Every structure is written in structure tokens, then in C-alpha cells.
Structure 1
């Protein structure tokens, strides 16, 4: 562990304020205290019990249900939770007076020399992050998993000594990252998402995603999807310091990864290395989008010069993460799938593309300005009925009226599962893939998925 351009003695006079006392904020508080900062944590909401207990045990000052301006505006630097928007009054005041506002990733990155493998994209980043971590772990590397997944990066930097980190990085995190550098950066895809945070301008969201490549040098790698239209368009107006390794299921690409005519993934990152070859039928993750995810992870493994046998074994035995196309089993011959993590339209498209017909689709929640038209063809081909799960389902009714015979409104996971079960018959699939955020009826997409699973088990 190292201190970046500052001694512990200097830190004692530096006041670090952390806005938001969730996983990332509390982890950042612990690391900051360890590094000798004067730390204060402030959360406008109610702090969850486990985080409050941690702060108390560590003797870190905190407040909840308010922001005390005299404390916060006096900070030398502020670490902001990714969930807090720029429009928040306190953030505006901090920006106006010139106080640096950074992300937990930016802060924690100062205190580790570990190699950073950073993964972003509108869809697939959690799966790709988990798969990459699985491959590296199986190869025996000393690796941590953090970012939008697992324990906070900052807490792990404070308590562990990893040589590598695989980090899932959201656009909200990227917005507050400045000097941090990814040794290996992966951009999976760009589709409209969270546009309410980007003035409803896709170009602003695209710019945020490309921050994954900032500060990279010729010693680093940028891995991207050559099949993704917005990524390619975004690259045209930008320059990159890193070595580029694209992947494609459409065109032959070398160096990089591609799909050959025999449905084999071919990966070659260096002419001196043995080429990696694996049939897509052997992949643990099935579906077109998961070929992309597997290619991206495979390129990382080849860049790190891992053995082909290890990569092949890891890609074949990987178990997908909870709430992402999670197979729950069958009841009365009806298959139930939990894809609660699908919080945007593109994720639901992937879920429908991967699921055999006939489908009873449970969707809905907080609509982020969704354009549902991209789902029309798949809904027509595969979906028998839609069960809406949300407080306001009008836009879903408007979007799919005439494409399916039945659209039913429900107000709880239990009600949605009950209705879907009675609309389905043997051989059908009940798929929870909401295309929307969860916080109208649920605490989070995890809570939504957990309640869905419980309702299925209660049938």
C-alpha cells in the first residue's frame, strides 16, 4: 500500500467529507481514517443498520437525515456516492466554491499499486466482471472484486493486499474519476440508459463511458466491441493512448477476438502467443450477448498470459450472478427466470433474445424515459402476455397494446407471480425482466429479485 503524493502527517490537517453512507461511502471512510484524514460522513437518508454499526465501531463521525453545511463546505475534498446526482443542492454548492468532489474509486486508487482491470458498458458489465474475476481467481492470481459488485474497493484497499482488481465501473462512478487509470479498460457496449442524469443527451452519456480510457498509456489495453454502433461512432472523434483489442461476432479481427464459421471463439492478442479456441456450445453463458461478454473476459486472460486450459475451464464452469437470467427451476412444467437486474430496455432485449418462446414477461417499475420500440419484434415473436409490476404502467400499455393479447397490472411481486403462473402453461417461461428501475415498489433490484424468488417458492 502507498500514499499518493501526500504523507500521513499532511492528511491529519485534511478534512475529508463523504456524502452517502452506503457500501462505497463507508468503505471510503474506513480507508480515509486509516490514512490519517479527519473524516466526516453525511447522508440525507437513513443509514442502514450494518453501516451505522461499522461507523460507530470505527469511531468515525457521521450524521443521517441531514447535511450540515458548516461541516461539509469546510472539507478539503469530498467523496460522493455514485447515486447522488450533480443537481443535488449540496453538490452544487461544493462545485461552486471549487471543492474537489471525487468518487470512491478515484480516492481508493491512490492507495494501491495493484493492476486495475476496469469494465463498463450499458449491459453485461456485472456478468463480464464476475466472469473475469472467476478466470483470474482460477488461474491463481491474487485478485480482488469490487466497484459496483461485492465489498467496496476502498475497504478492500484498506484491509487487503491484492495484486489485481477487477472493477465493475458505472457511468456515475466514471463521472467523478480524474487521475485514476485502468491498466486494462473494457467497454462492452453503449445503449441509452440513465439519460435523466445526462440532460437526456446520449452524447453526454457516451462521453461518460469513454472516461474508462482516460490517462491510459501505450503500456495499457483498451478492449471494446467492434459490433457496437455507438462505441464505434464514439471512437471516431477520440484518440486513445492504449493498445486496442476489439472483439466481434460479425467480422474476423486480429489481434482481438472473433467468431469463426464453425462457431468457435478465436482469441489472439499477441502473435507470439498460442491462439485460444473454444466452441460457443461449451460456454457456461449462452446467448449472443454472452459471446461478447466471454470474448471480453477471454482477451483480458490472454493479455495476462494465462493458460488456455485455465481460460477454457473457467468459461465452461462459470455460474452466473444472482438476479441476472437466474434460472429458478420449474413448477408444473413452467420455467421461472429472475432477471431483476435488467433495469433498462436493452437488458430486457438480451433476456428475450436468450429465452425460448413462449414467455410471460413481468416488467415495469420506474421508467427512465424508456423507448420500448426495440423490443417490438421479440415481443411479437415470443411473448404471450405481459404482467406489469409497477405503480404507473401506462407507458408499457401504450407501447405493447396490440402486440400481445393480455397486459395485466399488478402491485407486488407476489401478485405478479400469481397472475403470470395462471397465464402460463406447461413449457412456458415466466421471465422477470423489468426494463425499469425498482424503487417505486422495492428498495433495489436485489429486493425485487428476492421478492420474486420468494413468491415463486411460495406457489
Structure 2
């Protein structure tokens, strides 16, 4: 495809990675970002002699492309995407583009919650077992950049619904769907069904030789499996019922069978990741490992000593007998539900931010039974007040992480937990959820 013009929209990690790979493959590449481009990415593009623009989209420079690779963050409603669609120029994701240029096999993990943890754990298990494996997608260095620069046999990819929406010929060798709960509904016409269909694209193009791993306890996933045919071999996991092929729990022990070799067993008390949601994540990763016929001892060792990712139920400090936990990565209701479920003390909950059409009713029971005070952290907290004013005595508004932590310090009683688990995006007061988590941790360390 010598000198054919490819335009990349968005110059973050995925966009710059795609630009690197496109340049290497001999395309005429142009990068356009409607916002400002971070200095490090500008330097990368300049060093590669790839032309780019920022703070604008110049249609004349974009609409002459044979293909457009778009950042997952750009919605289909954006004017530039509509203009591209009118001309029938194909729009694909960076993942779709990168897969064309590698023979590596892929393990693709999606779901509303637990993606990052499961992706990191799966990568850790494979790496420890001596597999030549890369980690990419929504996490770490971009897939395209790694395809351009490295040689791996396998990739573990964290895949969001936004990425899946622009993946067409891509096929996962092993697909993992953890759960489907309401998230990002603003991008899916506020219909859960549309979002669920997007998640199911993880199984598209799979054949009988591939594996599809899913949660048999997740109602929306089961609904979708009744509607859509999945050709791959199915491996369900459940904590409520026994399954023949896949993973289940009996007497506090995980059992995994994939028909390939001896059964895998491990006590849930020996898992590095504790809490119900993490048992699901560990089961999913364990099935992947067994499908790949890794040794039981190796899997057990990895699942027993894995360290969880930053900003996900991350212990920060214990001060005056009060525990501080950073769960800034909880940007939706379900993640916050998991966090509340996994804490066994009274809670001072710090939540709020950019509300993505949240329905707070599913949190009500847990808030009533565990939460003694809510500290709102965001510019507009009206909906949180409306949702919980009858369940919690104290609801306070704050406008910075430092202020939220100071208020929490005064409200928390001995033996309780201060939990930052926002259930909302962070863009009103912070750069991203990492920035929010880091500011929270810094404020706790100042106490």
C-alpha cells in the first residue's frame, strides 16, 4: 500500500503508535488532534518526520485519506467523523490496523469492570510461565507501536467497547468477556442493549478453534449469548454453579477444567486478589492459562503473588486507625458497587465527577448499610445528593482532592475506611483518573 494516505485522528498513545506503524509500512501518514498534543508525543512525531496538526481538524487534509484510524475517545457524533462517513472512507481502530501486521496470537479482554486487573493478571501469569508476551490495548504501550518495534508470540490486550466499535476483520484467538453492566451509555443512545452488542464484538470472527471465556453469572452476557451465535469453544466461569468446562467454586476452592490436561485447583484464600469481583477476575485469567496448557504450579504461583494495579482498590495508608483506599479507577456505578462490597468496615465515601448518565439505585442498599458519610468531589453533585440524601446523614461538597481528604479525616471514626471510589469520570477537576488518584494519595500522605 505504498504512499496511500492514512489519516490518524487523535495523537495520544494509540494514535502515535498507529502513526509509527503506518510510517513503517510505507503509508503517507497525517495525524490530526482536535486538542493539544502532549510534548512527548509531538517529539515522537517530529522525530519520525510525520506531519501533524493540533487544536483543529483541517477537513482538506483529512478527507483525502483511503482509511482513517481513530482514537477510541472520539465519538461517532463528532463532526469530522460524520464528514468522513459521508464520503464512505473506512474508519478503523488502532487495534484493527495493528493486527494486520503481526502473526502474534491475541488474548482480548473486555467487560464493564475488571478489565485492567484481569489483563494485568493474565499477562503476569503468561510472562512468569516463560511465554514471549506483550501487553497492550487500553493499558501500557500501544499495540501498533509494539507491532512496529517488537516481536511477540502472544499479546494480552485490554479492549474497550469504543475500540470494538471500529474493529471489523480483527479476530481474538482467546476472547474474555467479564461482564456487561451499564457504562458509557451516553455513547450508546442510553440503551444498554447497544452497549451490550458492542461488547459482544469481542467474539466476532472467532472460529471453532478459538476460545470464548465468559461469566455464567452475568445476566446481560447470557441474554446476548441467546441472541448471538458464538462459534468459538465456550468456557464459562461461575461462583454460583458447577460448570463442566470452565471454572467454578466449591468449598472455597476454584476448580478449572479445559479438557486439555489435569484439573486446576486453588483455595480462594491463597489468591493474591481478594474480594468477590477478584475471584471472577482470577477465574477468567486461570481459564486462559489452562487453555494455553500452562503448568498448574506456575499458574498457582502467579495467582498467589500478583500485585494489583494502581488506582484500583489500592491501599494508601492507615492513619489514627482509619484506612485510606484509592479506587480512582472506579469510573462507573458497578466499579463503586464492587468497592463498597469488598470493604468490611464503616465507610466515608468520596465520590462524584462527570456523571455518565448514572443510575445510583444499585448502590442504595450498600450505602445504607455501610456508608456513614458521602463527600462529593466534582463540580456538579446534584444527582448524588438526590440519590442518597435519605440514606446518609452527612453529604458534603468539595472541589479538590486535598479538601475531600481533610473533610474525610474529620468525619472518619476509628476503625473505619475512607474510600475514594467516584463512580464518575474525572475530567471536571482532574486530567484523568490517575491524576485524581495521585492527588488523593498525596493529600492522604500530608495528613
TM-score norm. by structure 2 comes to 0.99
- State yes or no: 1:437 paired with 2:425: yes
Find the residue that maps to 1:185 and give its secondary structure: strand
Residue from 46, 49, 56 that aligns with 1:56 = 46
Partner of 2:266: 278
- State yes or no: 1:409 paired with 2:397: yes
- Separation of aligned partners in 2, 1:183 and 1:12: 29
Find the residue that maps to 2:107 and give its secondary structure: strand
Give unpaired runs (5+ residues) of structure 1. 1-10
Partner of 2:305: 317
State the shift of 1:158 in Å: 0.5
Partner of 1:3: none
Partner of 2:339: 351
Q: Do 2:317 and 2:444's aligned partners in 1 also have CA atoms closer than 8 Å?
A: no
Find the residue that maps to 1:244 and give its secondary structure: strand
Partner of 1:6: none
Q: Which runs of 4+ in 1 moved over 4 A?
A: none
Residue from 144, 160, 164 that aligns with 1:170 = 160
Partner of 1:40: 30
- Separation of aligned partners in 2, 1:47 and 1:343: 24
Partner of 2:314: 326
- Separation of aligned partners in 2, 1:398 and 1:278: 44
- State yes or no: 1:449 paired with 2:437: yes
- Separation of aligned partners in 2, 1:145 and 1:50: 21
Query: Can you list the C-alpha shifts for 1:174-201, whole angstroms capped at 9, x where unaligned?
Result: 0000000000000000001000000111
Find the residue that maps to 2:102 and give its secondary structure: coil
State the shift of 1:425 in Å: 2.0
- Separation of aligned partners in 2, 1:19 and 1:381: 46
Partner of 1:419: 407
Alignment of 1:192-203 (within 5 A): 192-203=182-193
Residue from 221, 224, 228 that aligns with 2:211 = 221
Find the residue that maps to 1:457 and give its secondary structure: helix
State the shift of 1:402 in Å: 1.7
Residue from 249, 252, 271 that aligns with 1:263 = 252
Alignment of 1:94-173 (within 5 A): 94-173=84-163
- State yes or no: 1:244 paired with 2:213: no
Find the residue that maps to 1:25 and give its secondary structure: helix
Find the residue that maps to 1:24 and give its secondary structure: helix
State the shift of 1:295 in Å: 0.3
State the shift of 1:12 in Å: 2.3
Partner of 1:365: 353
- Separation of aligned partners in 2, 1:21 and 1:168: 19
- State yes or no: 1:206 paired with 2:196: yes
- State yes or no: 1:20 paired with 2:33: no
Query: Can you list the C-alpha shifts for 1:286-315, whole angstroms capped at 9, x where unaligned?
Result: 111111100000000000000000110100
Give unpaired runs (5+ residues) of structure 2. none
RMSD of aligned alpha carbons? 0.6
- Separation of aligned partners in 1, 2:149 and 2:446: 40
Query: Can you list the C-alpha shifts for 1:297-340, whole angstroms capped at 9, x where unaligned?
Result: 00000000000001101001000001000011211111110000
Query: Can you list the C-alpha shifts for 1:89-118, whole angstroms capped at 9, x where unaligned?
Result: 000010111000000000000010111000
- Separation of aligned partners in 2, 1:118 and 1:34: 25
Query: Can you list the C-alpha shifts for 1:330-381, whole angstroms capped at 9, x where unaligned?
Result: 1111111000000000000000000112110000000111010101111111
- Separation of aligned partners in 1, 2:208 and 2:105: 15
Q: Do 2:11 and 2:32's aligned partners in 1 also have CA atoms closer than 8 Å?
A: yes
